[in-house]
Amino acid sequence: MKENNTKVSLFTNSNRVISDTFTNWESVREGSLVRFGGAKVFYTVNSVKKLFYIKPFKREEDYSISIVDGSKTLLIEDQINISFKEYYVLEAEGNTKGKTFSHFSEQPEFDNEGNVTYPGKTVQRITEVDGVKFSYGEYEDRIILPYSISFINGDLITLNKDLPKNVNIGKVSCEKWEMFLENKYMGKDARNVDSQIIRDFTPNLNLPLLPNFSPSNGALTNQALKIIDKEIQAIKAKLGIS
Percent of the chain clearing pLDDT 90 (strictly above): 62
25-72 per-position pLDDT tens digit: 998 888 888 889 877 788 889 999 999 999 999 999 999 999 976 567
**What pLDDT does residue 232 have?**
83
Q: Rounded to a whole number, what is the distance in angstroms from the first to the last CA of the chain?
A: 38
Same domain, 99 and 203: no
Same domain, 172 and 148: yes
Same domain, 56 and 134: no
Percent of the chain clearing pLDDT 70 (strictly above): 89
164-184 per-position pLDDT tens digit: 989 999 999 999 999 999 999
Amino acid at 207: L
Same domain, 68 and 96: no
Same domain, 178 and 73: yes
The pLDDT mean for the chain works out to 88
Query: 1: pLDDT confidence band, cut at 50, 70 and 90?
Result: very low
User: Which is nearest to 67 in space by CA: 51, 49, 80?
Assistant: 80
140 pLDDT more than 80:
yes
Same domain, 39 and 15: yes
**What H or E segment, with its residue span, contains residue 137?**
strand 132-138
148 pLDDT more than 60:
yes
216 pLDDT more than 60:
no
Same domain, 233 and 128: no
Q: Among 106, 138, 170, identify where a domain stops.
A: 138
**What pLDDT does residue 171 have?**
95
131 pLDDT more than 50:
yes
**What pLDDT does residue 3 have?**
47
Same domain, 191 and 120: no
Residue 16 contacts by C-beta under 8 Å, 6 or more apart in sequence? 178, 179, 180, 181
Same domain, 16 and 131: no
Give the predicted TM-score (pTM) of the model. 0.79
**What pLDDT does residue 208 have?**
67
3 state SS of 63: coil
Instruction: Provide mean pLDDT across the span 103-120.
Output: 94
- Cα torsion through 65, 69, 71, 77, rounded to 10: -10
Give the total number of structural domains in the chain.
Answer: 2
Q: Among 138, 153, 179, identify where a domain stops.
A: 138
222-238 per-position pLDDT tens digit: 667 777 888 888 888 88
Same domain, 14 and 99: no
Same domain, 155 and 133: no
**What pLDDT does residue 150 have?**
96
Instruction: Provide mean pLDDT across the span 188-194.
Output: 90
Show the domain range for 39: 3-83+144-239
User: Which is nearest to 145 in space by CA: 228, 36, 46, 65?
Assistant: 65
Instruction: Provide mean pLDDT across the span 127-135.
Output: 95
**What pLDDT does residue 29 have?**
85
**What H or E segment, with its residue span, contains residue 49?**
strand 43-61
Q: Among 96, 119, 138, identify where a domain stops.
A: 138
Helix, strand, coil abundance in the chain, percent, nearest 5: 10, 50, 45
- Residue 194 CA to residue 8 CA, distance in Å, equals 7
**What pLDDT does residue 100 have?**
93
| Residue ranges in the chain assigned as alpha helix (H) | 218-239
Same domain, 213 and 111: no
From residue 219, alpha-carbon distances to 55, 63, 125, 197 in Å are 36, 44, 57, 13
Please tell me which residue, 21 or 215, carries the higher pLDDT value.
Answer: 21
213 pLDDT more than 90:
no
